[in-house]
Amino acid sequence: MSDPGGSAGHPSGDKRFKMLDAALRRQQYQSDALLEILHAAQELFGFLSDDVLTYVGRGLKLPLSRVYGVATFYNLFTLEPKGAHTCTVCLGTACYVKGAGDILQGLTEAHGVKAGGTTADGQVSVVVARCVGACGAAPAVVFDHQLTGQQTRAAVLERVKAWRSAP
Amino acid sequence: MNAEELQEIVERELARQETRRHRVAVCTAAGCLSLGSDRVKAALVRGVEEAQLADEVEVFGTGCLGLCEAGALVQVDSRQADGHVCRCLYEKVTEARAVELVRQHLAGGAPLPSGQLPLDDPFFARQHRVVLQGSGVRDPERLESCLAAGAYQSLQKALTELTPTDVIAEITASGLRGRGGGGYPTGLKWSTVHKASGPKKVVICNADEGDPGAFMDRSVLEGDPHRVLEGMAIAGYAVGAEQGFVYVRGEYPLAIDRLKVALKQAERLQLLGNRIFETGFNFRIDLRIGAGAFVCGEETALIASVEGRRGTPRPRPPYPAVSGLWGLPTLINNVETFANVAEVIRGGGAAFAAVGTERSKGTKVFALAGKIARTGLVEVPMGTTLREIVFDIGGGIPDGKAFKAAQTGGPSGGCIPAQHLDLPVDYESLVQVGSFMGSGGLIVMDETSCMVDVAAFFMEFCRDESCGKCVPCRAGTVQMHSLLQKLTHFEGSEADVAQLEELAELLKATSLCGLGQGAPNPVLSTLRYFRDEYLAHVREKRCPAGVCKGSAPAASAGAPAAEVSP
Ligand SMILES: Cc1cc2nc3c(=O)[nH]c(=O)nc-3n(C[C@H](O)[C@H](O)[C@H](O)COP(=O)(O)O)c2cc1C
Ligand code: SF4
Ligand code: SF4
Ligand code: FES
Ligand code: FES
């Protein structure tokens, strides 16, 4: 099963656990760095599996319940694997007033995916955010890590379609 | 670093800037970046190199230039033969336009004939920039550029000329109040932490900015991080703390990057760290990254989150000023509050207090968004009327539509109707009309927005973001939201409206923290000013704005048939 020591790597030999170890070491295994470590883990693995949460708990000497409680409290942490791409639609007030709801509806109609879901082919996850801070250029959509302003329903659908038909 | 060394860096940088004929500032804050300003900047740099103008032209990134919706914005300051500096502000710059700009303006000396914004427009002319004064001047990624524009001079003054008590006296005299929403007097807060006993104290900068529609804090962090760090260090000196934290939301990756860079630069020159300005004062600052929970902006929840726990609020007292992070006396202020500090110390409390109203001093940055011609960031003296902000500065409502309401204060705020447009905007007057300053998000709605729908939108937000610790908020927001949904689906009755009002009072009175206490505000304020809209949904089963398309068959002739679902 899992490895007993927090910093001795992972039996699977997955290199990403070594990088997680480095993050733990940088934080000197301080338990109040739990959020920082979870951020680092999610950056490495894309989501927080039970395995990763257990590993983090051991490293910081925290019970799994505490780690799990924190991981589920915050919106940015996800316990499910995500699609190859992420389309984050801002549903903050400014974007909502400028028609972000219509963009979301378009995604459901054209690609059969709802907020929080992933397209059937596993290519694109649709996420909803509460203000990404580009309200001046609303409505805003984040394509993977790229923040893009003044979006239209057609432009977003086009972008998602391109992702899905890429080889 | 001591005063002379700082002066030397400043003079070297100013001399370097003098040798440049053109200084080209590209807005690299979030709004413009989302419209491609990073590619524009790269094109300008490339163009300048190819034209072999690198000795004459400086291209740099800078903070929000204000009119985000016309991005990508590029500001060119050209030094004339007589030493006079001439400024052009280009809007909607693309990579192709950048190439043109290099060829004509930078190489040829003739500004482009089109695509410029008039700088005497009220949008620019009516502003009074304190917090945003570094935007367009400072390159947030180059410390020298910030130093030349005055960064850390107030810290030096505080450490070498003033005692901690003097600093607090200036802040008190300035009348500065917290910009995080509540408007608590900053001097009073600092003096409470100063007086609190304990060998160790902590300063925290609240950079959670959870209000949807607000982006002031983000712009300051991205455009001028050193201004915030300087304010925190001055606060640390005043209250007797050696450790600071910036708690910044995870949704702001660029602000996080820029803060990291700024911290490293400041530490390298010992503007932060040990024996700052060769005095006995030590102060270090660490970053803490949030992970998407609106309630973490509440100060006790924020403290729990910095400690690596679930961000749930706890009852106050004890206030953080007495017992905060790890039980230590803790000073928590908002980003914009800290960003005002250097100015107070530079010019003195009295000069700062000369701007603003009787009880609200200084300026306030507003994020204008929604149905308004010029969306963006504006900084105006407290007490500027809503009409001036929306119509003179913001250019009014586009497409010939009528103004309906301005929403301030986010999910704890309210909607201000047209009859109050001449209201001078300050902490007290907003509360008087049933709204709230909040962090400064100002969302304008026109006749196509439905107030019941807007209330439902905010209630859904509060329902989703309730931490669930106390029953009134956890269960009450769910109930209020479902009642509002009944209304937007034309399934509500007048009894539902009455129940909504009852629940609103209950939540206000019995919730543990500001989230639950404030959640009913959008409902109460829309009921106060737009009750007829609620009643139209209930009695006539129609939405006057045409937003709600209920599933129930429209009984009244007022509802256009095309909008009735089968
Ligand atoms: C639900 C809730 C969310 C809040 N969010 C923020 C926020 O995002 N940023 C902020 O500065 N203050 C926020 N506050 C206010 C803080 O609790 C606190 O009053 C403020 O940071 C104090 O700083 P100031 O005195 O400089 O305003 C929030 C309060 C509540 C109740
Ligand atoms: S009642 Fe709700 S908050 Fe309490 S333990 Fe159960 S699920 Fe959690
Ligand atoms: S009012 Fe809401 S957010 Fe605040 S403590 Fe209670 S449940 Fe949590
Ligand atoms: S509301 Fe969408 S970016 Fe702010
Ligand atoms: S982000 Fe460029 S002007 Fe505001």
From residue B402, how far is each of A95, B340, B445, B472, B553 by CA, in Å? 20, 36, 9, 38, 29
Mutation site, A61, A72, A97, interface B, largest B CB count within 10 A: A97
The minimum CA-CA distance between A149 and chain B, rounded to whole Å, is 5
Candidate from A88, A89, A131, A142 with most ligand 4 atoms within 8 A of CB, to mutate = A131
Which residue numbers in chain B have pLDDT < 50?
A: 552-566
- The ipTM estimated for the assembled molecules is 0.87
Stretch (H or E) spanning B229: helix B225-239
- Tell me the pLDDT tens digit for each residue of A78-133: 998 888 999 999 998 889 888 898 999 999 999 999 988 999 999 999 999 888 87
- A interface with B, Cβ–Cβ below 8 Å: 30-36, 38-39, 66, 69-70, 73-77, 91-94, 96-98, 129-138, 140, 145, 147-150
Alpha helices by DSSP H, listed for B323-446, are 335-347, 349-353, 386-387, 427-432
**Which parts of B123-238 are beta strand (E)?**
202-207
CB B404 within 8 A of CB B417: yes
Residues from chain B contacting residue A34 (CB–CB below 8 Å) = 308-309
Amino acid identity for residue B76 in this structure: V
C-alpha B219 to ligand 5 mean position (Å): 8
C-alpha B439 to ligand 1 mean position (Å): 8
Q: What is the pLDDT of residue B551?
A: 57
- What would the DSSP string read from start to end of B125-152? HT---STTTTTTT--TT-HHHHHHTTTT
Sort A15 into a burial class: Cβ within 10 Å, 0-12 / 13-18 / 19+: exposed
Q: How far apart are CA B178 and CA B175, in angstroms?
A: 10
Q: Residues A11-17: what's their mean pLDDT?
A: 84
Partner-chain residue, chosen from B212, B289, B290, that has the shortest CB–CB distance to A130 = B212
Q: Indicate the pairing of strand B403-408 with strand B376-381.
A: unpaired
User: Is-cis flag, bond preceding A139, omega within 30?
Assistant: yes
Q: What is the pLDDT of residue B287?
A: 95
Atom of ligand 5 nearest to the CA of B33: 1
Q: What is the pLDDT of residue A8?
A: 57
CB B376 within 8 A of CB A136: yes
Residues from chain B contacting residue A77 (CB–CB below 8 Å) = 291-292
Q: How far apart are CA B491 and CA B495, in angstroms?
A: 12
Q: What is the pLDDT of residue A3?
A: 43
Residues from chain B contacting residue A33 (CB–CB below 8 Å) = 308
Cβ count within 10 A of residue B315: 9
Amino acid identity for residue B42 in this structure: A
Pocket of ligand 4 (CB under 6 A): A 90, 92-95, 131-135, 138, 140; B 212-213
Q: Whose CA is nearest to atom 1 of ligand 4?
A: A92
Q: What is the pLDDT of residue B563?
A: 33
Pocket of ligand 5 (CB under 6 A): A 136; B 27, 29-32, 64-68, 71, 73, 376-377
Q: How far apart are CA B468 and CA B477, in angstroms?
A: 10
Partner-chain residue, chosen from B209, B293, B457, that has the shortest CB–CB distance to A74 = B293
Atom of ligand 5 nearest to the CA of B377: 4
Q: How far apart are CA B390 and CA B387, in angstroms?
A: 5
Q: How far apart are CA B22 and CA B207, in angstroms?
A: 35
Is residue A141 over pLDDT 80?
yes
Residues from chain A contacting residue B410 (CB–CB below 8 Å) = 93
Partner-chain residue, chosen from B210, B250, B288, that has the shortest CB–CB distance to A76 = B250
Is residue A71 over pLDDT 70?
yes
Q: Do A137 and B290 touch (CB under 8 A)?
A: no
The minimum CA-CA distance between B167 and chain A, rounded to whole Å, is 32
The minimum CA-CA distance between A4 and chain B, rounded to whole Å, is 23
Q: Do B30 and A134 touch (CB under 8 A)?
A: yes
Tokens (6 digits) for B142: 């180059």
- Tell me the pLDDT tens digit for each residue of A31-54: 999 999 999 999 999 899 999 999
Is residue A5 over pLDDT 70?
no
Q: Do A97 and B371 touch (CB under 8 A)?
A: yes
Pairs of residues, one from chain A and one from chain B, whose beta carbons lie less than 8 Å apart: 142
Atom of ligand 5 nearest to the CA of B31: 1
Comparing CA positions, the residue from B319, B276, B311 lying closest to residue B290 is B311
The minimum CA-CA distance between B527 and chain A, rounded to whole Å, is 19
DSSP state of B447: T
The minimum CA-CA distance between B464 and chain A, rounded to whole Å, is 10
